[in-house]
Structure 1
């Protein structure tokens, strides 16, 4: 990738749909961790989730949400599933010479220790973990337990971020029942309506 930024954030997720919490966390990460740019990466088949909307719909919603933000970008990897073993080398090749920072929600971070080949990720990247208010001490203890179990110390920044109590599942449920959900992005309204992604849409 030409003209690569020096400090790059990678924000992988389901984004079904992307919402204000995702964007607020990304902005907080850019400002606090001095990232040059964040690239969103939509997971084709997310772990522990079923019944997600088609990949092309989720990718298009991300494009719509970030289109006016110069320090946000999006990457698409031709993989049926993401894994440390296969995905990390592609990211390192794509952003050769850059310092990689992986953005994770605390729910994902809690399962990090169960990922295959996670040591490669720990040794190659930094972590920025978005936290809900009041969860920082619990997550620090979880980090300590991972480091102790793995015998590795790794660079992790915890960010308590507004709107992280918002969830895509709550937004989907509200739209299904013709309600106006908190944290929903108005820029997605027409696309969701035209493609009938969540059954109904509030007037």
Structure 2
């Protein structure tokens, strides 16, 4: 049985912080693989700064090429929008009925708001959650602190954001060290976020 951590995000663009956290998860927890689930652009929310799905997927593909335990996933591209995590989990369970045990990966900041998620109790009953540290305000709900399904992984705190990268790249700053080389090359060639 392969234990797969699902790391959801827009990855707009994927950066070294994402890679450091996901690699830490597969090397220092029970996870065998981490799948980067690229969140599609919601047809109801067109953000000018959000690149097309296929471009963001391509950057994740290129960023993870040298890491056999890290994989890109476009599983949500064909699900009805707006989509909820519970729907993706159900869909994955149908698509991979055997051999895979899916878990969620989330930052501590997301865990603080987890009680607002659709069907969060059902998710907690059926899935494990691997939490990495983030610097953020607010308290973690007591029901998650000692929950047997919630595992805190002492990963490095990465305070790099895609928003910062996009903004500073547009301002002409050199953001290359924050990106995997292949992602920088793709971004530069395609003239993204200028």
Fold shared, TM-score > 0.5 on shorter chain: yes
In structure 1, what is the equivalent of residue 112 of structure 2?
Answer: 110
Matches within 5 A, 1:165-184: 165-181=159-175, 183-184=178-179
Question: What is the alpha-carbon root mean square deviation over aligned residues?
Answer: 2.7
Matches within 5 A, 1:114-153: 114-132=116-134, 141-144=139-142, 146-147=143-144, 153=147
Q: 1:123 to 1:50 in 2, by over 3 A?
A: farther
In structure 2, what is the equivalent of residue 196 of structure 1?
Answer: 191
* TM-score (structure 1 length as normaliser): 0.80
**Equivalenced residues, count:** 187
Q: 1:147 to 1:166 in 2, by over 3 A?
A: closer
* TM-score (structure 2 length as normaliser): 0.83
Could you tell me how far 1:163 is from its partner in structure 2? 5.2
What is the distance in 2 between the residues matched to 1:147 and 1:189? Answer: 38
- Per-residue CA distance 1:147-172 (angstroms, 9 max, x = gap): 49xxx944112234335111111111
In structure 2, what is the equivalent of residue 86 of structure 1?
Answer: 87
**Structure 1 runs of 4+ off > 3 angstroms?**
45-51
Contact 1:132 1:161 in 2 (8 A): no
Aligned with 1:20 (options 12, 16, 19): 16
What is the distance in 2 between the residues matched to 1:16 and 1:40? Answer: 12
Contact 1:10 1:103 in 2 (8 A): yes
1:59 equivalent to 2:53? Answer no
Return 5+ residue gaps in structure 2 as ranges: none
The 10-residue stretch of structure 1 (185-194 or 45-54) with the greater mean CA deviation from structure 2? 45-54
- Per-residue CA distance 1:107-136 (angstroms, 9 max, x = gap): 322321111111221111111112136x6x
